[in-house]
Amino acid sequence: MGVLIKLLVLHLCCIYGINGGSYKVDNSVGYGRTFDGIGAISGGGATSKLLINYPTEQRSQILDYLFKPNFGASLQIFKVEIGGDIQSTDGTEASHMHNSWDENYNRGYEWWMMKEAKMRNPDIKLYGLPWGFPGFLKDAYDRPWGNIQSTADYVVKWVNGARVYHNLTMDYIGIWNESPYNITYIKTLRKSLDNAGFGKTMIIASDQNGWDIAGDATKDAELNNAIFGFGSHYPGTNSTPEAASLNKPLWASEDWSCVDPLVGPGCLARTLNQNYVNGYMTSTIIWNIISSYYYGLPWYNSGIMTASEPWSGHYIVPQNIWVTAHTTQFTSIGWKYLKHGYGVGKLNGGGSYVVLISPDEQDLTIIIETLSHDSSICTRPPLAPYNVVAGQTATFELAGILKQRFTSLNTWYSRIGYYKFPSVSFKNRGPLTIQDGSLSVQLGKDEVWTLSTVKSGFKGSFPSVPGSKRFPLPYIEDFEGYKVGEEPFNLAQQVGSFEVDQINNVKFMKQVVLETPVHWFYCLIGTYNTSLNVIGDYTWQDIRADVAVKLDGENTTDSVYLSVRTTACGCQADIESGLFLFFFPKEQRYLLSSDLLRKNILVSGKVPTVTHDWDVIKLQAKGDHVWGAVNNDMLFNISIPVSISHGWVAVGTYPFGTAYFDDLHINPV
């Protein structure tokens, strides 16, 4: 019998571990920092591009998973890109001012998405940040400080446009994504917001990788007063003593960005807790909110959801949604963290816990994670090795008024699947009784637990999701179904900005950027003065495309092109390949290049017939041959380099300048 007891004890130790710990939960010593919410980013860039074109039913479902309280991710902050006509990762988002004389507050899809978020959750906070700026604001160093007041006015106009045209109040505004900040600009922006009646729109600075802004704020009282909170990107759950000492909110104002579904949920769970445990960060904002852009574009599948097939209605609800819900469904902005050592800390066997309490002290939430190193590696920064035991008992000892007030907590559980075990997502395990202020939880490895007095937690779902389908062919786009100024749904602009225009009751797509914009600091593709707009399926091989083109009016480009089998996209479009047929109407010539920047010319020559009205470019790739024509004149029929095997269809211009595109036809061959 003694041997059996020893074996049983050994078995239980293997299951639950010999590690354990007792952790105080006590607010009598005061509180830690105020919780500012969990959010996600649309932009940086064009990450929600395809969502607006989804069938109404599926689009509404997707938005519910993201924004509806007590249903899915239940996001508390929604951060969007202030479009600047620049490539900012997966595409270009249109500026509200392409030029100094131009204003339009209906461009793009961020206005629509913010309104959908507010419709579902009126309490959600809104945050705008530029990744780049239109060219009229740039200085001699390609930065937006040519006239600092003009740049501040540009951003204030966007904030005002949100209010006047969309009844949206912007709660937070940023400086310039991951790019050098300008102290004079931050002060000027604060004054400009105040003067325009936006004193409640707070500045988060500086949306860079690091906390250098805090060092400047310690030496400059005016700068410090202009800033509401410090925001850093991918901080690796750490801030700095200097940043923390200023007693301002510290935010991970962009974080996560995982493309690997095996470790992404684990990275997110660990980060959401440990950003506060290690770095005192009271908000984590996830990049990105939804992977709603073509497969083949950079960072595909790095959203907390994926919805990249508007033609089929198919979407994916990954575990990221439910990991986020462990925090957002059981807290609200304004709740208080308990102090470190009294409700916030590390578990003895690995992992972490945080305790938050509502402002009226009537609700309490404990969030626990035991994510192991290998199941929670983030894309960036590197994660130092650490250990989490296979099992541990965590005992939470409530003290003072908390001991008297709370007798049970509702429990929600997730297990990150990783390699060895199937995942469990946001399972309601019922109430857990608190006995004399004490409750114990048996924790395994790679788990997330929420223990809360909040009873409204809910795992939302819909009956079915349509199956996945390929991009439909044949495809025809005549742009007649769009409003003037609207961005065509399926064309994913990569460089430049394209919108629908109309002359004599004929609608067409127009490239509108006239000069190189102020690029996002890490993305130089816009400086090459060549626009790019892709459509379709990254895997297309044998394909024919036709498009009508026209140069007319002022500020026209010199050439337009049609491309097939192109993989050119994102910030590295210049090093990707494709078959690009450039047509120079004024010079009546053409060239076929295997790259966007025309460095590798395969064939060139004269175009026999140019109408100087609507000319039609035709390009077909089949097997190892490609032919091209303008109007009815065959220009070439040549062998294709072996390396050019697949890709999207694309159109664009060289250099920047206006050009018209119409009657795009794409057919398999």
Mean pLDDT of 424-432: 97
Rounded Cα–Cα distance for residues 584 and 607 (Å):
9
Could you tell me if residue 372 is inside a domain?
A: no
pLDDT band at 366 (very low <50, low <70, confident <90, very high): very high
pLDDT in tens, 458-484: 999 999 999 999 999 999 999 999 999
pLDDT at 435 over 50: yes
| Res 16: pLDDT | 42
∠ CA 203-206-208, rounded to 5°: 150
pLDDT at 420 over 80: no
Q: Considering its fold, how many domains does the chain have in total?
A: 2
The dihedral over CA atoms of 267, 272, 276, 277, expressed in degrees to the nearest 10, equals: -50
Domain boundary among 277, 304, 331: 304
- The domain that holds 127 is classified in CATH as 3.20.20.80
CA-based nearest residue to 64, from 452, 490, 331, 458: 458
Domain boundary among 253, 279, 304: 304
| Res 421: pLDDT | 77
Mean pLDDT of 368-387: 96
pLDDT band at 7 (very low <50, low <70, confident <90, very high): very low
What is the separation, in whole angstroms, between the first and last Cα of the chain?
Answer: 78
Could you tell me if residue 311 is inside a domain?
A: no
What 8-state DSSP symbol labels residue 327?
Answer: H
Lowest average pLDDT, out of 8-22, 526-540, 559-573, goes to 8-22
User: Residue 575, Cβ neighbours under 10 Å: how many?
Assistant: 12
Domain boundary among 304, 322, 343: 304
CA-based nearest residue to 117, from 60, 160, 37: 60
| Res 2: pLDDT | 44
pLDDT at 429 over 70: yes
Q: How is residue 377 written in tokens?
A: 């590696």
Mean pLDDT of 228-248: 97
What 8-state DSSP symbol labels residue 556?
Answer: B
Helices 183-195 and 148-166 cross at an angle (nearest 10°) of 40
Alpha-carbon distances of 292 from 75, 101, 298, 604, 648, rounded to whole Å: 17, 32, 12, 37, 16
Rounded Cα–Cα distance for residues 423 and 448 (Å):
11
Specify the length of the chain in residues. Answer: 669
- Dmax over CA atoms of the chain, in Å, equals 99
| Res 3: pLDDT | 40
- The domain that holds 483 is classified in CATH as 2.60.120.560
Q: Tell me the average pLDDT of the chain.
A: 96
**Residue pair 77/472 in contact by the 8 Å Cβ criterion:** no
pLDDT band at 19 (very low <50, low <70, confident <90, very high): confident
Could you tell me if residue 48 is inside a domain?
A: yes
Rounded Cα–Cα distance for residues 256 and 73 (Å):
15
pTM of the model: 0.96
Rounded Cα–Cα distance for residues 322 and 355 (Å):
19
Could you tell me if residue 331 is inside a domain?
A: no
Mean pLDDT of 640-665: 97
Could you tell me if residue 174 is inside a domain?
A: yes
Listed in sequence order, the residues at least 6 apart from 472 whose beta carbon sits closer than 8 Å to its beta carbon are 311
Between β-strands 577-584 and 589-595, what pairing exists: parallel, antiparallel or unpaired?
A: antiparallel
Could you tell me if residue 560 is inside a domain?
A: yes
What secondary structure does DSSP assign to 59-77, as a single string?
Answer: HHHHHHHHHSTTTSS--SE
Residue type at position 234:
Y
What 8-state DSSP symbol labels residue 486?
Answer: P
Residues belonging to the active site: 178, 254
pLDDT at 309 over 70: yes
Alpha-carbon distances of 150 from 106, 163, 171, 517, rounded to whole Å: 21, 20, 22, 15
H helix or E strand, kind and range, residue 186: helix 183-195
User: Residue 508, Cβ neighbours under 10 Å: how many?
Assistant: 22
Rounded Cα–Cα distance for residues 291 and 299 (Å):
9
Ramachandran angles phi, psi of 378, nearest 5°: -85, 165
H helix or E strand, kind and range, residue 253: strand 250-256
User: Residue 302, Cβ neighbours under 10 Å: how many?
Assistant: 24
Rounded Cα–Cα distance for residues 153 and 148 (Å):
9
Task: Provide the residue range defining the domain that includes 516.
Answer: 475-668
Mean pLDDT of 118-138: 98
Could you tell me if residue 325 is inside a domain?
A: no
CA-based nearest residue to 34, from 242, 327, 253, 339: 339
Mean pLDDT of 178-195: 98
Mean pLDDT of 81-88: 98
Could you tell me if residue 352 is inside a domain?
A: no
| Res 419: pLDDT | 65
pLDDT at 275 over 70: yes
Q: How is residue 244 written in tokens?
A: 């923390």
